Amino acid sequence: MGIFDERIEKAKTICILGHQTPDGDCIGSALAIYKYIKNKYGEDKTLKIYLDEFSKKFLILPNADKIRHDLNDATVFDLAIIVDAGNVERLKDFKRYFEEAKDSIIFDHHENNNVPAKVSVVSPESIATCEVLYPFLDKAYIDKDVATCLYVGLATDSGIFRYKATTKKTFLLASELIDYGFDFTKILDTIVFDNSIKQRKAQGIAFDRLKLICKGKVSYSYLLQEELDELNINKNDIDNIIVYLREIENIKIASFAYPVGVNTYKFSLRSKDDALNVAEFAKEHEGGGHILAAGCIYHGDIDTISEKYEKDMAEFIEGRENNK
């Protein structure tokens, strides 16, 4: 029995946790683990998944309706399983379940992961947490549902098998997974490519405002809270805008800001150049992430922080390019 199964075996009550604003890899790995444990132990374990609110498109994934958002569970879990979160703050208020749990294990691929779990399985060179997790699952209990969820993590975190950290291993795993016979076209259309009219309108506002800064090396746009309110849209519905801002010729970094609180904006960052490690930029601004994909926080009104961001980013790029 592997290190994961051993810990599951010993636990009666288990919770699965992931990072705030959960994405396909976070939800995919959490739901893969959920179904895997159900397949292996049936109703013998008390098993709960707690994640932050997520986009409704993920409801196409098996058991996504079982994901809970409440913080009042009095259970002290025997085992907390964390997925895809580089630090405890990323668990938001659900970190309580982790901190109280008697045992814990984390599967992740974020550089500098510092979640103080009893067991850490962290592999920064992996494209997705789902890829890190897979070797720890006993194949006898992987079914079509588990395979679907793992595939979604792989496909989404790799930008549908395009980003640089995509390896032969990623394709081999994807090929094993599609053998389980799920409708990957429909799943990816639903989760990645189909947009609501409201989303397209929000993208329209962001595109309209889009500009190139830092001598044309950085694309930048933002949305305001009143615009989200007007469209009756939430932050999960705009998390793909950064993808489009990255798909612009000649840029090195894409950036998109959106409100996460009063006078507080989250900046999504994507680099197209290994020499410009946006995780390092993000670390200076209450954030973190990977070399090519990171996020950080700025406080203030949008005009002030847009100006500040442009200045910080220009300095960052200049510093890196002079060090080459």
Site string for Mn ion, 21-40 (x = CB under 5 A): ----x---------------
Among the listed ranges 14-22, 81-89, 135-143, 257-265, the one in contact with Mn ion (CB under 5 A) is: 81-89
Angle, helices 24-41 vs 3-10, to 10°: value is 60
Site string for Mn ion, 145-184 (x = CB under 5 A): ------------x---------------------------
User: Toward Mn ion, which CB reaches closer, 153 or 259?
Assistant: 153
User: Toward Mn ion, which CB reaches closer, 28 or 259?
Assistant: 28
Distance CA 302, CA 318 (A): 24
Cα dist from 49 to 12, 84, 102, whole Å: 15, 14, 17
To Mn ion, the closest distance from the beta carbon of 55 in angstroms equals: 16
To Mn ion, the closest distance from the beta carbon of 84 in angstroms equals: 4
| Long-range Cβ contact pairs of 91-94 (< 8 A, separation 24 or more) | 91/17, 91/18, 91/19, 91/20, 92/20, 92/52, 94/17, 94/50, 94/51, 94/52
Across 138-283, the runs of DSSP E, i.e. the strands, are 211-213, 218-222, 253-261, 264-271
To Mn ion, the closest distance from the beta carbon of 25 in angstroms equals: 3
Q: Which residues contact 131 (CB under 8 A, 6 or more apart)?
A: 109, 123, 153, 154, 169, 170, 173
Position of minimal CB gap to Mn ion: 25
User: Toward Mn ion, which CB reaches closer, 113 or 203?
Assistant: 113
Count interface residues toward Mn ion (CB under 5 A): 4
Among the listed ranges 82-90, 181-189, 246-254, 276-284, the one in contact with Mn ion (CB under 5 A) is: 82-90
Cα dist from 239 to 4, 284, 324, whole Å: 32, 22, 32
To Mn ion, the closest distance from the beta carbon of 34 in angstroms equals: 17
User: Toward Mn ion, which CB reaches closer, 145 or 157?
Assistant: 157
Which H or E element spans position 299? strand 293-299
User: Toward Mn ion, which CB reaches closer, 25 or 312?
Assistant: 25
Among the listed ranges 53-61, 78-86, 197-205, 287-295, the one in contact with Mn ion (CB under 5 A) is: 78-86
Site string for Mn ion, 110-149 (x = CB under 5 A): -------------------x--------------------
- Is 84 a binder of Mn ion (CB under 5 A)? yes
To Mn ion, the closest distance from the beta carbon of 263 in angstroms equals: 29
Residues 136-166: b if buried by 16+ CB within 10 A, e if exposed? ebeeeebeebbbbbbbbbbbbbbbeeeeebb
User: Which among 215, 263, 260 is positioned nearest to 236, based on CA atoms?
Assistant: 260
To Mn ion, the closest distance from the beta carbon of 109 in angstroms equals: 6
Q: Where do contacts with Mn ion occur on this chain (CB under 5 A)?
A: 25, 84, 129, 157
